[in-house]
Amino acid sequence: MKKLSRKEEELMQVIWDLEKAFVKDAIEHLPDPKPHYNTIATLMKRLEDKGFLAHHEYGGSYEYYPIVGKESYKHTFMKKVLNTFFDNSYLNMLAYFAKEEKISPDEMKQLVKMIEKDKN
Protein backbone atom coordinates (compact mmCIF):
# COMPACT_ATOMS: atom_id res chain seq x y z
CA MET A 1 0.00 0.00 0.00
CA LYS A 2 1.41 3.38 -1.00
CA LYS A 3 2.03 6.09 1.59
CA LEU A 4 -0.26 9.10 1.58
CA SER A 5 0.71 12.71 2.11
CA ARG A 6 -0.81 14.62 5.01
CA LYS A 7 -3.28 16.35 2.65
CA GLU A 8 -4.21 13.04 1.02
CA GLU A 9 -4.84 11.48 4.44
CA GLU A 10 -6.97 14.47 5.44
CA LEU A 11 -9.05 14.08 2.27
CA MET A 12 -9.35 10.32 2.75
CA GLN A 13 -10.68 10.90 6.28
CA VAL A 14 -13.46 13.02 4.77
CA ILE A 15 -14.26 10.46 2.08
CA TRP A 16 -14.25 7.59 4.59
CA ASP A 17 -16.68 9.58 6.74
CA LEU A 18 -18.94 10.48 3.80
CA GLU A 19 -18.58 7.03 2.13
CA LYS A 20 -18.79 8.72 -1.30
CA ALA A 21 -18.30 12.28 -2.47
CA PHE A 22 -18.14 14.63 -5.39
CA VAL A 23 -15.30 17.17 -5.21
CA LYS A 24 -17.65 19.89 -3.92
CA ASP A 25 -18.93 17.57 -1.15
CA ALA A 26 -15.39 16.89 0.04
CA ILE A 27 -14.53 20.60 0.03
CA GLU A 28 -17.56 21.37 2.22
CA HIS A 29 -16.26 18.97 4.88
CA LEU A 30 -12.64 20.17 4.88
CA PRO A 31 -11.51 22.77 7.43
CA ASP A 32 -11.17 26.46 6.62
CA PRO A 33 -9.57 27.96 4.68
CA LYS A 34 -11.26 25.85 2.03
CA PRO A 35 -8.90 24.56 -0.66
CA HIS A 36 -9.51 25.43 -4.30
CA TYR A 37 -11.74 23.08 -6.31
CA ASN A 38 -8.91 22.15 -8.70
CA THR A 39 -6.62 21.25 -5.79
CA ILE A 40 -9.12 18.74 -4.40
CA ALA A 41 -9.95 17.39 -7.87
CA THR A 42 -6.23 16.76 -8.42
CA LEU A 43 -5.85 15.10 -5.01
CA MET A 44 -8.84 12.84 -5.68
CA LYS A 45 -7.40 11.82 -9.06
CA ARG A 46 -4.04 11.13 -7.37
CA LEU A 47 -5.77 9.01 -4.71
CA GLU A 48 -7.50 7.09 -7.48
CA ASP A 49 -4.16 6.56 -9.26
CA LYS A 50 -2.69 5.25 -5.98
CA GLY A 51 -5.56 2.76 -5.67
CA PHE A 52 -7.37 4.35 -2.73
CA LEU A 53 -10.42 5.68 -4.59
CA ALA A 54 -12.59 4.73 -7.55
CA HIS A 55 -15.39 6.70 -9.13
CA HIS A 56 -18.78 6.58 -10.80
CA GLU A 57 -19.33 9.05 -13.60
CA TYR A 58 -22.55 11.02 -13.85
CA GLY A 59 -22.67 13.23 -16.94
CA GLY A 60 -19.03 14.27 -16.66
CA SER A 61 -19.02 14.61 -12.87
CA TYR A 62 -17.15 12.05 -10.81
CA GLU A 63 -18.45 10.70 -7.53
CA TYR A 64 -15.53 9.12 -5.69
CA TYR A 65 -15.72 6.30 -3.17
CA PRO A 66 -13.01 4.55 -1.14
CA ILE A 67 -11.72 1.16 -2.21
CA VAL A 68 -9.22 1.00 0.65
CA GLY A 69 -10.97 0.91 4.00
CA LYS A 70 -10.01 3.10 6.91
CA GLU A 71 -9.21 0.09 9.12
CA SER A 72 -7.01 -1.45 6.44
CA TYR A 73 -5.05 1.78 6.03
CA LYS A 74 -4.78 2.25 9.79
CA HIS A 75 -3.47 -1.31 10.20
CA THR A 76 -0.80 -0.81 7.53
CA PHE A 77 0.17 2.62 8.87
CA MET A 78 0.43 1.43 12.47
CA LYS A 79 2.47 -1.66 11.51
CA LYS A 80 4.94 0.64 9.78
CA VAL A 81 5.15 2.97 12.82
CA LEU A 82 5.55 -0.02 15.12
CA ASN A 83 8.32 -1.48 12.98
CA THR A 84 10.12 1.81 12.25
CA PHE A 85 10.06 3.43 15.68
CA PHE A 86 9.47 0.66 18.22
CA ASP A 87 11.45 -2.35 16.93
CA ASN A 88 8.17 -4.11 16.14
CA SER A 89 7.37 -4.25 19.87
CA TYR A 90 3.98 -3.25 21.24
CA LEU A 91 5.56 -3.17 24.68
CA ASN A 92 8.10 -0.56 23.51
CA MET A 93 5.30 1.49 21.96
CA LEU A 94 3.16 1.39 25.10
CA ALA A 95 6.19 2.19 27.25
CA TYR A 96 6.85 5.23 25.08
CA PHE A 97 3.32 6.56 25.64
CA ALA A 98 3.52 5.80 29.36
CA LYS A 99 6.86 7.63 29.69
CA GLU A 100 5.51 10.59 27.73
CA GLU A 101 2.52 10.59 30.09
CA LYS A 102 0.20 10.26 27.13
CA ILE A 103 -1.47 7.30 28.80
CA SER A 104 -2.41 7.24 32.46
CA PRO A 105 -2.11 4.24 34.79
CA ASP A 106 -5.92 3.95 34.75
CA GLU A 107 -5.96 3.91 30.97
CA MET A 108 -3.22 1.28 30.99
CA LYS A 109 -5.38 -0.88 33.30
CA GLN A 110 -8.34 -0.40 30.95
CA LEU A 111 -6.15 -1.45 28.05
CA VAL A 112 -5.09 -4.64 29.85
CA LYS A 113 -8.77 -5.43 30.53
CA MET A 114 -9.61 -4.86 26.85
CA ILE A 115 -6.80 -7.19 25.77
CA GLU A 116 -7.82 -9.87 28.26
CA LYS A 117 -11.45 -9.61 27.14
CA ASP A 118 -10.47 -9.96 23.45
CA LYS A 119 -8.32 -13.02 24.24
CA ASN A 120 -11.26 -14.84 25.89
Element (H, E) at 57: strand 53-58
Note the pLDDT tens digit of each residue in 61-114. Answer: 999 999 999 999 988 888 888 899 999 988 888 888 788 777 778 887 888 888
pLDDT in tens, 6-25: 999 999 999 999 999 999 99
Residue 15 is predicted with a pLDDT of 97
pLDDT score of 54:
97
Assess contact for 65 and 22: CB atoms under 8 A: no
**What is the distance between the alpha carbons of residues 83 and 34, in angstroms, rounded to a whole number?**
35
Domains of the chain: 6-66 (1.10.10.10), 89-120 (no CATH)
The pTM of the full predicted model, rounded to 2 decimals, is: 0.77
Where is pLDDT greater, at 96 or 36? 36
pLDDT of amino acid 120: 64
